[in-house]
């Protein structure tokens, strides 16, 4: 299936490239309480690669006592098939994690630092500044390895659930440090889904004025239903790098305030429908979302996996009562 | 609680008025299989009015055999308290329905015609053209009554699930007829959630060029997760009238392809956060959403009713594993 011209209308815009990085196997699964088997993780990652994804975050090298779901990341990375144009990533909180990730074959190291001190302290028990120092060390390890790069994340970029709005100065300072590390993309993360659409374009515009050469990505959560609206303003502001989770993985039925990333297939359905070139097979993404859903045994929040893309035609069946 | 300046940032824009019309008690409830009691409907409508809503669609005067959930609309309208600046509406498919609705005290008659012949035939067993003729008769009845107005709806404006894209010519013809009837607002309905964001602004712009004096509203469904993204492009295109359902009512766990309207409180959270003046109390809307949820005994799709608005501050609790 092609989702080009999903509206049946010519889209005048040149088909600009949008890169989607899949973080479901890491950011999606990390909060799941029931252990997902290594076999299941490998199967999901292969299905994601089959859909054409070129960046997949396959795991995290964090303390297995804190995040038991990620304890088998080395094995997952050992078993997934290497393909041309596919880079596997891993989340790493420190140098030890970075060394383990590189040894396991991860090429994209993700390191996140919250712009909010409160949030960073609670998450990794250090200040934002201390986090930057740790990242400098991670960066040195990455630079010494072959074809390894660091992806930066400014977490809580659109607000902290404890502190509220985060000052622009703090964001500029952290972002500027990440630029110095040579991150090919720096993601602005709406960690707990606090962003209101106009804030996305305002922050992106501000950062681009200061660092015009730096690629800015978005890592969005759908906590307050604004994930795709925020992604849309990102696209409008010129952002071309997005992280997302297949099926919207990451929501947790036992913790309604921990809501997943934007759904990969829902985002691709929107962006492709708007004429952007995601180079992904939507049918296969939906297939992967269903694999993830079956794996977890509960309904995932993704919508296109349930309704099908807007291009689907239905047979004329029963009269409905849907009058508007 | 105020949701102005939710970002803690000055929003430069003049606070333009956005009118939200609540359709939950009608479009939301009509597909519910389990009968909602008249008491419950009245309680919900009063809670919605308490939140400041000035337009509430309270029921439908349709064949009770086809839509049994709406069979008590007369009683509902008899029991809800009249307040200044609050207009009750009702969906009416024909003259008989219009007469019953007016007799019951409805002031805003909603009549919907699908731009797609296939859809209109299946829904109301008549062509789009025949639907317009019926609406002319409804209009005559409305005009003869005191302070009664007709709200028009172009259903399937962004695509028909059976036919696919609907031609602009068909939309222009239907919209032009509704303009002639003097509808104060004509809603473009994305009946089965097929719209991709840019299509909203393109159609709104096209119609406004042809009928610059006509107020255009949006009635959006969240079938493919694009409800708020589509609403956002509507706001960007200058639309200031939106219909929505409290809690995102209208989804049905047994029919995943029948997905509800955009959620009133999620939309208001976004629009107010962007600086628009909705004149609604978000806390009370959330309260009404919880009433609707308790009434139906299942989790509703609204997100802000679960997470709270972005302005909520959390106490510092357990360290989380949410690193980005």
ipTM: 0.92
Of A162, A225, A322, the CB nearest to B314: A162
Task: Give whole-number Cα distances, A220 to A157, A195, B84, B208, B240, in Å.
Answer: 10, 9, 42, 33, 27
Q: What are the backbone dihedrals phi and psi of residue B223, each rounded to the nearest 5 degrees, phi first? A: -50, -40
Question: What are A113's two structure tokens?
Answer: 């630092």
Look at residue B142 in the predicted model and tell me its pLDDT. 97
Query: Which residues of A are less than 8 Å from B314 in CB distance?
Result: 161-162
For residue B264, give the nearest of B233, B240, B294, B288 by alpha carbon.
B288
Inspect the interface and report whether the beta carbons of B225 and A123 lie closer than 8 Å: no
Q: In angstroms, what separates the C-alpha of B220 from chain A's closest C-alpha? A: 9
Q: In angstroms, what separates the C-alpha of B241 from chain A's closest C-alpha? A: 15
Look at residue A316 in the predicted model and tell me its pLDDT. 73
Q: Does domain B19-306 have CATH number 3.20.20.70?
A: yes
Answer yes or no: are the C-beta atoms of A111 and A152 closer than 8 Å: yes
Q: CA B324: distance to chain centroid?
A: 35
Q: In angstroms, what separates the C-alpha of A208 from chain B's closest C-alpha? A: 19
Answer yes or no: are the C-beta atoms of A284 and A246 closer than 8 Å: no
Share of chain A above pLDDT 90, in %: 80
Of A123, A164, A307, the CB nearest to B8: A164
Q: Is B126 exposed, middle or buried (0-12, 13-18, 19+ CB in 10 A)?
A: middle
Q: Which ranges of A91-127 would DSSP assign to H, the alpha helix?
A: 95-103, 117-124
The answer to whether A183 is a known catalytic residue is: no
Look at residue B13 in the predicted model and tell me its pLDDT. 52
Look at residue A252 in the predicted model and tell me its pLDDT. 53
- Residue for token pair 């296969």: A284
Query: Which residues of B are less than 8 Å from A306 in CB distance?
Result: 256-257
Inspect the interface and report whether the beta carbons of B155 and A324 lie closer than 8 Å: yes
Of A112, A302, A314, the CB nearest to B162: A314
Query: Which residues of A are less than 8 Å from B320 in CB distance?
Result: 122-123, 258
Inspect the interface and report whether the beta carbons of A31 and B322 lie closer than 8 Å: yes
Inspect the interface and report whether the beta carbons of B270 and A197 lie closer than 8 Å: yes
Please state the domain extents for chain A.
19-307
In A, minimum Cα distance to B151 occurs at A324
Rg over CA atoms, chain B:
19
Query: Which residues of A are less than 8 Å from B285 in CB distance?
Result: none
Inspect the interface and report whether the beta carbons of B124 and A269 lie closer than 8 Å: no
Q: In angstroms, what separates the C-alpha of B107 from chain A's closest C-alpha? A: 19
For residue B157, give the nearest of B143, B181, B173 by alpha carbon.
B173
Mutate to test the interface with B, among A29, A224, A255, A268 (most CBs of B within 10 A): A224
Look at residue B119 in the predicted model and tell me its pLDDT. 86
Inspect the interface and report whether the beta carbons of B263 and A225 lie closer than 8 Å: yes
Look at residue B324 in the predicted model and tell me its pLDDT. 66
pLDDT in tens, chain A (324 residues): 333 444 434 444 568 999 999 999 999 999 888 899 999 999 999 999 999 999 999 999 999 998 999 999 999 999 999 999 999 999 999 999 999 999 999 999 998 899 998 888 887 788 999 999 999 999 999 999 999 999 999 999 999 989 999 999 999 999 999 999 999 999 999 998 999 999 999 999 999 999 999 999 999 999 999 999 999 999 999 999 999 999 999 865 444 466 899 999 999 999 999 999 999 999 999 999 999 999 999 999 999 999 999 998 887 765 454 556
Measured torsion, CA atoms of residues B155, B158, B163, B168, in degrees rounded to the nearest 10: 90
At the topology level of CATH, where does A19-307 sit? TIM Barrel (3.20.20)
In A, minimum Cα distance to B261 occurs at A324
Q: What is the C-alpha separation between A119 and B316, in angstroms, rounded?
A: 9
Q: Is A145 exposed, middle or buried (0-12, 13-18, 19+ CB in 10 A)?
A: middle
Inspect the interface and report whether the beta carbons of B307 and A31 lie closer than 8 Å: no
Annotated catalytic residue, options B160, B183, B252, B278: B252
Query: Torsion-angle region of residue B34: left (phi > 0), alpha (psi -120 to 50) or beta?
Result: beta
For residue B119, give the nearest of A9, A320, A312, A310 by alpha carbon.
A320
- Report the predicted TM-score, pTM, of the whole model to 2 decimal places: 0.93
pLDDT in tens, chain B (324 residues): 333 444 434 444 568 999 999 999 999 999 888 899 999 999 999 999 999 999 999 999 999 998 999 999 999 999 999 999 999 999 999 999 999 999 999 999 998 899 998 888 887 788 999 999 999 999 999 999 999 999 999 999 999 989 999 999 999 999 999 999 999 999 999 998 999 999 999 999 999 999 999 999 999 999 999 999 999 999 999 999 999 999 999 865 444 466 899 999 999 999 999 999 999 999 999 999 999 999 999 999 999 999 999 998 887 765 454 556
Query: How many contacts, defined by CB atoms under 8 Å, are there between A and B?
Result: 216
Note the residue count of chain B: 324
Question: What are A317's two structure tokens?
Answer: 């069946």
Q: In angstroms, what separates the C-alpha of A14 from chain B's closest C-alpha? A: 14
In A, minimum Cα distance to B60 occurs at A323
CA angle B315–A97–A102, rounded 5-degree value? 140
Q: In angstroms, what separates the C-alpha of B258 from chain A's closest C-alpha? A: 8
Task: Give whole-number Cα distances, A79 to A41, A87, A296, in Å.
Answer: 10, 14, 21
Answer yes or no: are the C-beta atoms of A131 and A124 closer than 8 Å: yes
Query: Which residues of A are less than 8 Å from B169 in CB distance?
Result: none
Answer yes or no: are the C-beta atoms of B59 and B28 closer than 8 Å: no
For residue A286, give the nearest of A260, A234, A231, A248 by alpha carbon.
A248
Inspect the interface and report whether the beta carbons of B162 and A313 lie closer than 8 Å: yes
Mutate to test the interface with A, among B116, B224, B256 (most CBs of A within 10 A): B224
Look at residue B317 in the predicted model and tell me its pLDDT. 62
Q: What are the backbone dihedrals phi and psi of residue B5, each rounded to the nearest 5 degrees, phi first? A: 50, 45
Annotated catalytic residue, options A160, A183, A252, A278: A252
């Amino acid at each position: 299936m092609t989702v080009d011209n999903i509206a049946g209308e010519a889209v005048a815009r040149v088909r600009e490239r949008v890169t989607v990085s899949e973080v479901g196997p890491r950011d999606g699964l990390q909060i799941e309480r029931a252990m997902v088997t290594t076999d299941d993780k490998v199967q999901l990652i292969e299905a994601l690669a089959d859909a054409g994804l070129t960046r997949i975050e396959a795991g995290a090298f964090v303390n297995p006592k804190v995040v038991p779901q990620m304890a088998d990341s080395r094995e997952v990375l050992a078993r997934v098939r290497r393909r041309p144009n596919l880079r596997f990533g891993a989340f790493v909180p420190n140098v030890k994690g970075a060394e383990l990730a590189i040894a396991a074959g991860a090429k994209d190291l993700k390191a996140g630092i919250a712009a909010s001190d409160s949030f960073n302290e609670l998450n990794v028990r250090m200040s934002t500044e201390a986090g930057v120092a740790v990242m400098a060390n991670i960066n040195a390890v990455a630079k010494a390895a072959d074809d390894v790069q660091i992806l930066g994340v400014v977490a809580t970029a659109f607000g902290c659930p404890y502190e509220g709005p985060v000052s622009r100065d703090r964001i500029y300072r952290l972002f500027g440090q990440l630029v110095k590390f040579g991150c090919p993309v720096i993601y602005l993360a709406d960690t707990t889904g606090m962003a209101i659409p106009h804030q996305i374009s305002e922050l992106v515009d501000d950062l681009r004025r200061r660092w015009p050469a730096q690629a800015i990505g978005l890592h969005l959560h759908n906590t307050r239903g604004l994930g795709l609206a925020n992604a849309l303003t990102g696209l409008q502001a010129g952002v071309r790098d997005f992280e997302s989770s297949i099926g919207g993985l990451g929501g947790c039925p036992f913790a309604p305030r921990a809501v997943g990333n934007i759904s990969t297939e829902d985002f691709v359905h929107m962006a492709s429908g708007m004429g952007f070139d995601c180079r992904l097979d939507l049918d296969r993404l939906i297939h992967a979302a269903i694999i993830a859903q079956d794996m977890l045994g509960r309904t995932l929040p993704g919508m296109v996996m349930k309704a099908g893309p807007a291009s689907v035609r239905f047979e004329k069946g029963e009269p409905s009562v849907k009058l508007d």
